[in-house]
Structure 1
Amino acid sequence: MNISFKPIEKIDLPSVTAIYNYYVENSTATFHLAPVSEQEMETTLLLGHRLYKSFVILSEGAIVGFCYLGQFRKKEAYDISSEVTLYIKHDFTGKKIGGSVLAFMEQEAKKLGLKNLVGVITSENKGSLKLFERNGYFKCGHLKNIGIKFGKALDVISYQKEI
């Protein structure tokens, strides 16, 4: 599947928010318990930030997902690192998009002078764990029973790649 990327603009927020809220309501991929608003999504994506960038993922002109580089920690010494996040529309998962998305995000991160990318993944999200491992990320942390969603205690696993 051919995909392309475009920086997220305000006009994209309804589509991006709908993709994210699908995972809020139907999965443990995110720890939000209730759908988020477009305004909250805009704040999360840090639109227009000089360092942390966000993109829609396009296939044949249609939005099939989004990805972003987010602030790893709020202290300046961490500004060489970023959390990398991606969400693919649920009916487009399993189409080998994820590897291309990570490769693109790594290129963008390098252009911005970032040195490390970190993925923070719920342990139940086996597809994402495999995606990060296949793309050269190493497991660097495992928090046990750190959150509860759908009445179930969940682990979170962190993966890192030095770029």
Structure 2
Amino acid sequence: MPTERTEVQVRPGVEADLEALTALYNHYIRETPITFDTAIFTPEERRPWLLSHPVDGPHRLMVATDPDSQEVLGYATSSPFRAKPAYATSVETTVYVAPHAGRRGVGTLLYKALFEALSGEDLHRAYAGIAQPNEASARLHERFGFRYVGTYREVGHKFGRYWDVAWYEKDL
């Protein structure tokens, strides 16, 4: 019986993804206000970030790839929300999709896999900060049950101007 071709596969991130993940993130650093990092990374500089997202536990890295080429199409993470111990049951989530892979449902597949992976963890809330404007990201987060809780006005300075960040939260 023939099987239907899957357009995107999602799996935990691995060391072999480091170069592609770094290149994808560097695109967002150079071209957009979506991240407030301002200097690009080498893969070696980005390695501690990758290693801080093991295949189990509350801090995960999920990677979307093309099943034929194995090209990285995007990634989603859950990371510590804040460093203080009382925040341990909260995570900050984020998703990055390759520019040419937008509008294919990659972000949706990544968040679906991420939240399924987190379902057994001792977590209470997920938070997401969305640099404004970014309607596509707001819609994605709302589809996954995130609620808007407020905006930090002009909290980041990049590309010669100030940017707002809207904050969303989700019960886990």
On whether the aligned pair clears a TM of 0.5, the verdict is yes
Deviation, structure 1 residue 35: 0.7
Deviation, structure 1 residue 19: 0.5
> What residue in structure 2 maps to residue 157 of structure 1?
166
Deviation, structure 1 residue 158: 1.0
Q: State the alpha-carbon separation in 2 of the partners of residues 42 and 114 from structure 1.
A: 25
Q: How many residues align?
A: 163
> What residue in structure 1 maps to residue 85 of structure 2?
76
Deviation, structure 1 residue 85: 1.1
Q: State the alpha-carbon separation in 2 of the partners of residues 51 and 3 from structure 1.
A: 24
Alignment of 1:113-128 (within 5 A): 113-128=122-137
Task: Give the greater-gyration-radius structure (CA).
Answer: 2
The residue type equivalent to 1:7 in the other structure is P
Alignment of 1:8-87 (within 5 A): 8-45=13-50, 46-48=52-54, 50-60=57-67, 61-87=70-96
What is the TM-score normalised by the length of structure 2?
Answer: 0.86
CA separation of 1:134 and 1:6: change in aligned 2, threshold 3 A: closer
Deviation, structure 1 residue 134: 2.5
Q: Which structure 2 segments of 5+ residues have no match?
A: 1-5
The residue type equivalent to 1:55 in the other structure is M
Q: State the alpha-carbon separation in 1 of the partners of residues 118 and 53 from structure 2.
A: 16
Moved over 4 A (4+): none
Deviations along 1:18-65, whole A, 9 cap, x unmatched? 000011111111011121222332223314374311121122133111
The residue type equivalent to 1:53 in the other structure is R
Is the 1:52–1:70 Cα contact (8 Å) retained in structure 2?
yes
1:136 aligns with 2:141: no
What is the TM-score normalised by the length of structure 1?
Answer: 0.91
The sequence identity of aligned pairs, in percent, is: 26
1:89 aligns with 2:98: yes
Q: State the alpha-carbon separation in 2 of the partners of residues 14 and 99 from structure 1.
A: 23
